[in-house]
Structure 1
Amino acid sequence: MKIFVCVKQVPDAKDVRLDPVTNTLAREGVESIMNPYDQHALEEAVRLKEAHGGEVIAITMGPPQAEEILRLAISCGADQGVLVSDRAFAGADTWATAYTLEQAIRHLGSADLILCGKQAIDGDTAQVGPGLALRMQIPFITCVQKVRSCSDQAIVVERMMDDGYDVVEAPLPSLLTVVKDINEPRVPSLKGKMKAKKAEIQVLTATTINADPACIGLPGSPTQVARVFPPEARGERSVLSGTLDEQLDQLVEKLTPYL
């Protein structure tokens, strides 16, 4: 079984801040990590490989420094890391990103299964996974919380819903987007770290994947972010101080008029 896992390098959520001048995310000096949802997708891919055999290929579109998360993926059980990197990809929205990943995966050969995180914590669109599946013309299931069974022909999963879950079967090849409930990602082993350090990361450019210049990067993006801004503070705010008992007394005093 050939499993692709789409991973993304994102700013660490605890360090995210906005540039007051450009109104965009300030990335300079902010630590980058693998998107948390993608960590769970990677873990599930490795578990499927361990249970059924095959190989896991971690793939990401990003700048050269995104190689770091590919080495992390290899240290956690992925067999290969592929970096799709080119200045021409800059400014891509979810539409152009899905196209670029499709071209890259087709260049690397057929896929039996593609796993993605439910969404990225920096964009929160949850569009790239389904968009990639539509471009690949394969079935997709979102918000997967458990893989019940998997064979060469089909996969059966539980899809998380607001009031429980659905049991869904899809033929392979398919694409799944997963939620955090699906597993607990493993910690890289020493052996895995040594393998990752020596691993050769394959780099694919726009030319390599035969990408149409009109479909990638900013020119290929039908949507653009005009402005990013923090919401304005609403209502009155106050900070309670003192011991816990003193803070509770203050809280009761402040809430009493509204009871």
Structure 2
Amino acid sequence: MNIVVLIKQVPDMERVKFDREKGVVDRKSAGTEINPFDLNALETAVSISEKMDAKVTVISMGLPSADEALKEAIARGAHEGILLSDRSFGGADTKATSKTLAGAISKIGKFDLIIAGEKTVDGDTGQVGPEIAEILDIPHISYVEKIEDINQDNIVAQCELWGGTYLKKAKFPVLITVTKYINEPRLPTFKSKMKARKAKITVWDMEELKEVLTLEEVGFKGSPTKVKKIEVPQSAKREGKLFRENINEGIEEIITVLEDKKVLGV
């Protein structure tokens, strides 16, 4: 079995800052990490590979520095890492990103299972996984919280959607997106980290993918949607009042507020 895992290097969203004047994320303001949901996807793949004969290949699209994320993925149990990096890939929306990743997957050749996180914390769209499945013309199962069964022919997965629990079965090849509830990603050991530092990451640029992609399909050129501005709302501060001397006045104030908020009928 061949498993492909999609990962993305994202800013540390706990520390990243936003340029309010330009309306963009200041990616230089914080360090980077593997998208948390992608760690769940990787853990799912590695767990499967430990139970059955499966090769785990991790793919990421990004800057040359993203090879560190791929080496971390290898330290966590992946067997191979492929980085898609080229200036022409820059400025990609979800469609162009999906097209590029799908092209790389098709270049790999035979694959049985593609696993992605349900979304990325810097984009939050949840579109790339399903779009890749549509481009590759394969079925997909989204928001998987548990794998009930898997064998050489198919997978049975439990997913949560719109307040309901669904049990879905699909034959390979298939793509699934997983939630954070599917597992607890393991931490790499010191030994695996040292071994991964020596791992060779395969890098594919546009020249390597020209047989499966055109310049009009990737990056800014292949993106029908453009982000013009990101607005970050100001943090709301909680307000409070103390009524130590006159409790009844405080009660009246609470009732007034609840009536204004339509919590209580006037």
Given the two structures, how large is their TM-score scaled by the length of structure 2? 0.89
Matching of residues 1-80 of structure 1 within 5 Å: 1-80=1-80
* Aligned residue number for residue 262 of structure 2: none
**How far apart are residue 29 of structure 1 and its match?**
3.0
Q: Distance in 2 between matches of 1:123 and 1:2?
A: 28
Q: Which residue of 2 aligns with 1:213?
A: 215
**Contact 2:75–2:196, Cα closer than 8 Å, also in 1:** yes
- Rounded Cα–Cα distance in structure 1 between residues aligned with 2:222 and 2:100: 10
The aligned amino acid for 2:257 is Y
Give the whole-Å Cα distance in 2 for the aligned partners of 1:174 and 1:64.
29
Which residue is 2:98 aligned to?
A: 98
Task: Report the alpha carbon displacement of residue 16 of structure 1 after superposing the two structures with TM.
Answer: 2.6
Q: Label 1:239 to 1:77 Cα distance change in 2 as closer, same or farther (>3 A).
A: farther
Q: Deviations over 1:172-221 (max 9, x none)?
A: 01000000010000010122112211100000001101120000000110
Based on CA coordinates, which of the two structures has the bigger radius of gyration? 2
Give the CA deviation at 1:17: 2.1
The one-letter amino acid paired with 2:166 is: D
Structure 1 residue matching 2:17: 3-state secondary structure: coil
Structure 2 counterpart of 1:238, one-letter code:
E
Quote the Cα distance in structure 1 between the aligned partners of 2:53 and 2:114: 15
The within-5 A match list for 1:221-240 is 221-231=223-233, 237-238=238-239
- CA distance, structure 2, for counterparts of residue 127 and residue 95 of structure 1: 8
Counterpart CA distance in 2 for 1:15 and 1:232 is 16
The answer for the alignment partner of 1:125 in structure 2 is 125
CA distance change for structure 1 residues 74 and 255 in 2, over 3 Å: closer, same or farther?
farther
**Separation in 2, partners of 1:35, 1:240:** 41
1:111 aligns with 2:111: yes
Aligned residues, how many? 250
Question: In the TM superposition, what is the alpha-carbon distance from 1:229 to its structure 2 partner?
Answer: 1.1
Q: Residue 138 of structure 1 corresponds to which residue in structure 2?
A: 138
One-letter amino acid of the structure 2 residue matched with residue 38 of structure 1 = D
Local SS of the residue matching 2:21: coil
Q: What's the offset of the Cα at 1:161?
A: 2.4
TM-score (normalised: structure 1): 0.91
String of CA shifts for 1:49-88, please: whole Å, max 9, x gaps. 1011111011100001111110110000000111000000
Contact 2:16 2:29 in 1 (8 A): no
What is the one-letter code of the residue matched to 2:43? E
Q: State the secondary structure of the residue aligned to 1:13.
A: coil
Q: Which runs of 5 or more residues in structure 1 are unaligned?
A: none
